[in-house]
Amino acid sequence: MLPHAARLPQRRMLLTLWLAGGTLTAACATRSSPLAAPAATGVPSDPCRVAGDSARDADTVVVAATDSAVEPALYRQRLATPVRVDCEGRRLPELATGWSPDVSGRFWTLVLETSAAELADTWRTRAAVLRWAGIESLVPLDDHRLVVGFAQPADSLPRVLADTALGVPRSRAPRPVLVVAPPASDPRDQLDRAVDLVQTEDPALLDYARQRGDRSILRLPWSRTYLLLIPAGGDGVGNVVGADSAAFRHDLARDAVRADARGAEPPYWWEPPTDCGPPRPAASAGHSGAVVYPRDDRIARDLAQRIVALSPARDLTARGLDQAEFAAALHAGGERAYVMAVPRHSLLPCRESTNWPAGSAVIPLVDVRSSLIARRHAPALTTDWDGAIRAPGAPAVPGGSP
Amino acid sequence: MSFRSRLFLAFCLAVLVPLGMLAYGVRREMTRRLGADDEARAAAAARDVRDDLARTSAGVAERLAALAAGLREDNRFRLAAVERSDDARAYLLDLAGGAMRLSGLSLLQIQDSMGRILSSGHFRNEYDQLEPALPRALAATGASPLIVRVRTSEDPLLVLARADSFTVAGRRFTLAGGVAFDDRLLRGLSRDPGLSVALAYPATAPAPDDSSDVVAQIPLPYIDLLPGAVPRPDSARLVVTRSAGTLGVLRRSIDRWFLAALAATVGLALVGAAWLAARISRPLTALAEQTAAIDFDRLLCIDGPMPRGPVNDIHEAIHRMGSESVDTRYL
């Protein structure tokens, strides 16, 4: 990192150039400043390590999951993002080995291992993602340097650069490679087989693992929040929350949901609402007048059933829809209410809420987390900012803004 | 009218009148017997339905009694329901669901003495809701089966319910359980393929009560526990109906065969009468023809032998008369 005194003249120059206007100015400014590679610091004990024996060298880790919780890990294995953000919020290099801001904090120059022009071209095909991420400009300075202009200034590298929406396919998956075990009709079969890790929210499976005694169980960070979404102008579900919403959420987490859950806790990424552009036109879909939920989501079903039990509405029912039907119903906004899971943390709030009916009331219900059941001496894994597991890959070198 | 026609008509009457009387009598008797058998069958079926219903209800009661005995001894239930242990609460909430599935019931609720739902098998997440009307209604009906319409998270559920109660640490708990009153149960109640059983309850369209197809109506106590409904004891009816046209089809079939047999018999009788009339009238016709052909002027001049038969007899008689008197007349 550059000493503070050394950066002052550069900042003045950058400010002047910025006032002259434009991305090119900013790009020139960053070109004139020598980029500081992120300092490599040793990580004696990684607080984000979640399982296994890091000393063991393994090519693959066989992973099973009883739900879709393992999907983020698989995305991260396939896609490389400019940086990754670990469980403590540290930016770690991936495609970008270094980065630095201009004086305004809006323009960040990434030093890439890959072609800057190719990455810029790839991103430009994702206009919606760039808009949601607040990225206004992309200027490759040379083969390996890319200036990314953001709408808002930031003190540190915007975390949105760690979102897989900005990822590009990896040429080589980080070791150990996560291999998904074939599904089993009984989730306990996964434990009986030679599976290294099982990610689950199922309390019965966790109980079975405890009784086996040959596995270690690790709770992962809170990763999902369940919401009750009530479209504007509908009948709603009546007053089911009551006066004490914190107690309501706590009771839901304790009794209604059969998973490791707690009452949803702020901050919520959807508050305050982000300007995501004009709402999408409502689609047409059949209306059942029910509280609907994704059929394969056990927790959403439990919550929807509790909402129905508490509602004074005589004709209110809960109805499970498959994923495609649920997405269509949500987009149409014609149901009484929707119970669904969203990520506990989101780097792209507009991506998560783009399908929500305009003007909907959003009631957070519970946060849930999954647990990792690991075979003894399984290879080590780490967790990211959102609780997703990932292979550690190359030694984690913390990055940072100079 | 010719002699042959008169003979034909006489034969027809002689055949058709007794045949018609036989047909009428047989059909009348068969209809009476069929009707009587049908009535007896319907009465027996209604009796079977009542018996099956009572047996099903008793089966539910036995299962509830076994569950109650188990819960009385269940330490975790005691910890959760009496001691209000947080550790045992999840067990309590899932208790009714597991017990309901194991015992083959469709409804199971464990309530405390205030009517608060401690655990529900058919609607797991309705815990802590108050529903005192159900145990009250079940207590009022005693050993009789009660039809209950309860809320689930999806569609309303109609059950044949019974109740049991038990005491733990001086506190009284109620178990309400039942089996779904669905098409499968109704099909099981109607063993006779010619009869069908349906449940008419206030929330449905009323079943026809004065139709001749209805063979029995069994009143049952009923209570609607859906939100917004007034949970007061009402009445439902188990309506046993003769399947449309079962007896009628049988009667029509018999009538068809009878008519076919009658038509065949009448046809044969007509042919027989015609043949008989022809057979009987043929010699007389021949006689008349021959008589008409007699030339009385030459009657006595016929020489040679005449063929045997009535004409010959008449010829000979005339000959005899001629030898005695015709001579006088013509000479």
| Residue B150 domain flag | yes
| Residue B209 domain flag | no
- pLDDT for A56: 56
Nearest to B226 among A302, A314, A319 (CB): A314
Residues of A in contact with B227 (CB under 8 A): 312-314
In a shared domain, residues A128 and A243: no
In a shared domain, residues B226 and B304: no
CB-CB contact of B51 with B197 (8 Å)? no
In a shared domain, residues A128 and A229: no
Given the cut 0.90, state whether the ipTM is greater than it. Answer: no
Q: What is the largest CA-CA distance in chain B?
A: 151
> A 273-302 residues with CB below 8 A of B?
302
- pLDDT for A252: 94
**DSSP type of residue B169:** T
Cβ of B153 and A317 within 8 Å? Answer: yes
| CA B281 from centre of chain | 55
Residues of B in contact with A258 (CB under 8 A): 90, 94
Nearest CA in chain B to A257: B125
B154 touching chain A per CB within 8 A: yes
Nearest to A369 by CA among A167, A219, A264, A183: A219
d(CA A294, nearest CA chain B) in Å: 14
In a shared domain, residues A143 and A258: no
Cβ of A317 and B123 within 8 Å? Answer: no
Instruction: Please say which residue of B230, B250, B273 terminates a domain.
Output: B230
- Domain of residue A125: give its range: 4-41+83-169
The Cα–Cα gap between B162 and B143 comes to 8
B129 touching chain A per CB within 8 A: yes
- Confidence band of A278 (pLDDT split at 50, 70, 90): confident
The Cα–Cα gap between B331 and A75 comes to 148
Nearest CA in chain B to A310: B126
Residues of A in contact with B125 (CB under 8 A): 255-256, 302, 305-306, 308-309
Residues of B in contact with A305 (CB under 8 A): 123-125, 153
In a shared domain, residues B226 and B324: no
The Cα–Cα gap between A287 and A195 comes to 43
The Cα–Cα gap between A282 and A340 comes to 19
- pLDDT for A393: 64
This prediction has a pTM of 0.75
Cβ of A304 and B90 within 8 Å? Answer: no
- pLDDT for B269: 81
Between B262 and A131, the more confident residue is A131
d(CA B198, nearest CA chain A) in Å: 25
- pLDDT for A4: 43
Sign of the C-alpha dihedral, residues B76, B79, B80, B86? Answer: negative
Is the preceding peptide bond at A267 cis, omega within 30 degrees of 0?
Answer: yes
In a shared domain, residues A155 and A249: no
- pLDDT for A9: 45
Digit-coded pLDDT (tens) for A74-94: 778 888 899 999 888 899 999
- pLDDT for B24: 83
Nearest CA in chain A to B127: A309
Strand A318-321 and strand A291-294: the pairing is parallel
Nearest to B155 among A255, A305, A317 (CB): A317
Query: Does A33 have pLDDT greater than 60?
Result: no
| Residue A233 domain flag | yes
In a shared domain, residues B301 and B183: no
In a shared domain, residues B186 and B323: no
**Residues near A185 by Cβ (< 8 Å), separated by ≥ 6?**
none
Nearest to B64 by CA among B18, B114, B103: B103
Nearest to A318 among B127, B154, B226 (CB): B154
Specify the 3-state DSSP secondary structure of B180.
Answer: strand
Nearest to B125 among A254, A256, A317 (CB): A256
| CA A324 from centre of chain | 21
Distances (CA, A) of A259 to A68, A205, A372, A383, B82: 14, 11, 13, 20, 25
Q: What is the CATH number of the domain that holds A165?
A: 3.90.76.10
List, in sequence order, every beta strand (DSSP E) within B121-270.
Answer: 146-150, 157-168, 171-180, 195-200, 214-224, 234-242
Q: Which residues pair with A343 in a beta bridge?
A: A224
Digit-coded pLDDT (tens) for A353-389: 888 888 888 999 999 998 888 887 777 888 888 888 8
DSSP string, A90-117: -EEESSEEEEEE-TTSSEEEEEESS-HH
Residues of A in contact with B87 (CB under 8 A): none
| Residue B242 domain flag | no
| Residue A345 domain flag | yes
d(CA B178, nearest CA chain A) in Å: 20
% pLDDT > 70, chain A:
80
Could you say which residues of chain B have pLDDT below 70?
A: 205-212, 231, 243-247, 294-311, 314-315, 318-319, 321-331
Residues of B in contact with A310 (CB under 8 A): 129
SS3 of B305-324: the string is: CCCCCHHHHHHHHHHHHHHH
| Residue B277 domain flag | no
The Cα–Cα gap between B212 and A370 comes to 64
In a shared domain, residues B171 and B319: no
Q: What is the CATH number of the domain that holds B183?
A: 3.30.450.20
Residues of A in contact with B124 (CB under 8 A): 302, 305
In a shared domain, residues A246 and A150: no
| The amino acid at A88 | E
In a shared domain, residues A121 and A230: no
In a shared domain, residues B69 and B172: yes
Residues of B in contact with A312 (CB under 8 A): 227
Q: What is the mean pLDDT of residues A54-58?
A: 58
Q: Which residues pair with A229 in a beta bridge?
A: A338, A362
Distances (CA, A) of A217 to A41, A190, A276: 30, 15, 40
- pLDDT for B208: 55
The Cα–Cα gap between A314 and A383 comes to 45
Lowest mean pLDDT among A113-122, A240-249, B102-111: A240-249
| Residue B108 domain flag | yes
| Residue A110 domain flag | yes
Nearest CA in chain B to A292: B154
In a shared domain, residues B159 and B86: yes
Query: Does A100 have pLDDT greater than 50?
Result: yes
In a shared domain, residues B176 and B317: no
- pLDDT for B95: 96
In a shared domain, residues A18 and A126: yes
In a shared domain, residues A111 and A17: yes
Instruction: Please say which residue of B184, B206, B230 terminates a domain.
Output: B230
- Domain of residue B306: give its range: 294-331
| Residue B62 domain flag | yes
In a shared domain, residues B53 and B163: yes
Nearest CA in chain B to A311: B227
In a shared domain, residues A152 and A240: no
| Residue B267 domain flag | no
Digit-coded pLDDT (tens) for A147-190: 999 999 999 999 999 998 999 988 777 777 888 888 788 888 88
Supply the mean pLDDT for chain A. 80
- CB under 8 A, 24+ apart: contacts of B65-73: B65/B164, B66/B103, B67/B99, B67/B103, B67/B108, B67/B164, B67/B175, B67/B177, B68/B164, B68/B165, B68/B166, B68/B175, B69/B166, B70/B99, B71/B110, B71/B166, B71/B168, B71/B173, B71/B175, B72/B166, B72/B167, B72/B168
d(CA B241, nearest CA chain A) in Å: 32
Domain count across chain B: 2
Residues of A in contact with B127 (CB under 8 A): 255, 309
| Residue A174 domain flag | no
Nearest to A309 among B125, B154, B155 (CB): B125
Cβ of B94 and A258 within 8 Å? Answer: yes
Cβ of A317 and B90 within 8 Å? Answer: no
The structure tokens 């009572």 sit at B54
Most A CBs within 10 Å: which of B86, B120, B153, B154, as the mutation test of the A interface?
B153
Nearest to A317 among B90, B94, B154 (CB): B154
| Residue B265 domain flag | no
Instruction: Please say which residue of B230, B253, B275 terminates a domain.
Output: B230
Residues of A in contact with B89 (CB under 8 A): 254-255
SS3 of A329-361: the string is: HHHHCCCCEEEEEEECCCCCHHHHHCCCCCCCE
Instruction: Please say which residue of A123, A141, A169 terminates a domain.
Output: A169
d(CA B247, nearest CA chain A) in Å: 43
| The amino acid at A103 | V
- Alpha helices, DSSP H only, in A154-215? 187-192, 203-212
Residues of B in contact with A314 (CB under 8 A): 226-229
CB-CB contact of A208 with A202 (8 Å)? no
In a shared domain, residues B224 and B331: no
- pLDDT for A51: 66
Digit-coded pLDDT (tens) for A296-339: 999 999 999 999 999 888 788 999 999 999 999 998 888 899 99
The Cα–Cα gap between A392 and A382 comes to 6
- pLDDT for A8: 41
- pLDDT for A399: 37
Domain count across chain A: 2
B227 CB burial (10 A radius; 0-12, 13-18, 19+): middle
In a shared domain, residues B93 and B185: yes
| Residue A196 domain flag | no
- pLDDT for A214: 84
In a shared domain, residues B226 and B331: no
Structure tokens at A306: 């509790």
Q: What is the mean pLDDT of residues A196-209?
A: 88
Nearest to B127 among A255, A304, A314 (CB): A255
In a shared domain, residues A29 and A154: yes
B228 touching chain A per CB within 8 A: yes
